[in-house]
Amino acid sequence: MPQIDDKLAPIYEEVVRRNAGEPEFHQAVREVLESLGRVVAKRPDYLEDALIERICEPERQIIFRVPWTDDKGRVQINRGFRVQFSSAMGPYKGGLRFHPSVNVGIIKFLGFEQIFKNALTGLPIGGGKGGSDFDPKGRSDGEVMRFCQSFMTELYRHLGEYTDVPAGDIGVGAREIGYLFGQYKRLTNRYEAGVLTGKGLFYGGSLARKEATGYGNTYFTQAMLRTGGSDFDGKTVVVSGSGNVATYTIEKVQEFGGKVVACSDSSGYIVDESGLDLDLIKEIKEVRRGRVSQYARLKGEGNGVYFVKSGEGSIWDVACDVAMPSATQNELTGKDAAKLVKNGVTAVGEGANMPCTPEAIRTFQQAGVKFGPGKAANAGGVATSALEMQQNASRDRWSFEKTEARLADIMRDIHDSCYTTAEEFGAPGDYVIGANIAGFIRVAEPMRAFGVI
Ligand X SMILES: O=C(O)CCC(=O)C(=O)O
Q: Which of 134, 128, 129 is closest to 66 using CA atoms? A: 134
- For residues 353 and 417, which CB has a smaller minimum distance to ligand X in the complex? 353
Smallest gap from residue 232 Cβ to ligand NAI (A): 20
* DSSP code at position 273: T
CB burial string 242-271: b at 16+ within 10 A, e below: bbbbbbbbbbbbbebebbbbbbbbeebbbb
Q: Which amino acid does the sequence have at 184?
A: Y
Q: Is residue 265 involved in binding ligand NAI (CB under 6 A)?
A: yes
Binding residue for ligand X, selected from 95, 241, 325, 351, defined by CB under 6 A: 95
Q: Closest approach of Cβ 366 to ligand NAI, in Å?
A: 25
Work out whether 8 is an interface residue with ligand NAI (CB under 6 A): no
Tell whether residue 169 is a contact of ligand NAI (CB under 6 A): yes
19 binds ligand X (CB under 6 A): no
- Among 32, 403, 437, CA closest to 210: 403
Cα angle 139-131-53, degrees, rounded to a multiple of 5: 165
Nearer residue to ligand NAI within complex by CB, 37 or 355? 355
Contact code string over 318-357 relative to ligand NAI, x by CB under 6 A: --------xxx--x-------------------xxx----
Q: Which does 204 bind (CB under 5 to 8 A by kind): ligand NAI, ligand X, none?
A: none
Residue 390 binds ligand NAI (CB under 6 A): no
Size of the site for ligand X (CB under 6 A): 11
Backbone angles phi, psi at 340, to 5 degrees: -60, -40
The DSSP element (H or E) to which 64 belongs, if any, is strand 60-69
Which of ligand NAI, ligand X, none binds 356 (CB below 5-8 Å, type-dependent)? Answer: none
CB 97 within 8 A of CB 136: no
- On whether the CB atoms of residues 178 and 149 are closer than 8 A, the answer is no
Instruction: Determine which helix (DSSP H) or strand (DSSP E) holds 449, and give its type and residue range.
Output: helix 431-450
Question: Which one of residues 353, 357, 365, 421 is an interface residue with ligand X (CB under 6 A)?
Answer: 353
Q: Are 286 and 388 in contact (CB under 8 A)?
A: no
Q: Return the number of the residue (145 or 356) whose C-beta is nearest ligand NAI.
A: 356
Among 133, 164, 169, 336, binds ligand X (CB under 6 A): 169
| DSSP code per residue over 321-379 | SEEE--S-TT-B-HHHHHHHHHTT--EEE--SSS-B-HHHHHHHHHTT-EEE-HHHHTT
User: Which residue's CB is nearer to ligand NAI, number 369 or number 377?
Assistant: 377
**Options 22-30, 274-282, 379-387, 406-414: segment touching ligand X (CB under 6 A):** 379-387
Min dist CB 343 to ligand X, Å, is 29
167 binds ligand X (CB under 6 A): yes
Contact 19, 102 (CB under 8 A): no
80 three-state secondary structure = strand
Candidates 92-100, 131-139, 146-154, 393-401; binding stretch for ligand X (CB under 6 A): 92-100
- The rounded distance, in Å, linking the Cα atoms of 130 and 128 is 7
Continuous segment of H or E residues that includes residue 66: strand 60-69
For residues 231 and 222, the answer to whether their CB atoms sit within 8 Å is yes
CA-wise closest residue to 97 among 128, 65, 59 = 128
Answer yes or no whether residue 382 interacts with ligand X by CB under 6 A.
Answer: yes
Beta strands in 213-281 (DSSP E): 236-239, 259-265, 268-272
104 vs 187, which CB is nearer to ligand NAI? 104
Contact between 385 and ligand X per CB under 6 A: yes
Q: With binding defined as CB under 6 A, does residue 4 bind ligand X? A: no
Known active-site residue 259: no
Choose among ligand X, ligand NAI, none what residue 94 binds, the Cβ cut-off being 5 to 8 Å by kind: ligand X
Under the criterion CB under 6 A, does residue 381 sit at the interface with ligand X?
yes
* 293 interacts with ligand NAI by CB under 6 A: no
Work out what residue 136 binds among ligand X, ligand NAI, none; the CB cut-off runs from 5 to 8 Å by kind. none
Taking residues 187 to 226 in sequence order and writing x for each that binds ligand NAI by CB under 6 A, - otherwise, the string is --------------------------x-------------
Choosing from 129, 185, 235, 370, the catalytic residue is 129
Binders of ligand X among residues 185 to 214 (CB under 6 A) are: 197
Helix (H, G, I), strand (E, B) or coil at 96: strand
Catalytic residues: 129
Interface with ligand NAI (CB under 6 A): 168-171, 213, 241-246, 264-266, 326-328, 331, 351-353, 378, 381
Interface with ligand X (CB under 6 A): 93-95, 117, 167, 169, 197, 353, 381-382, 385
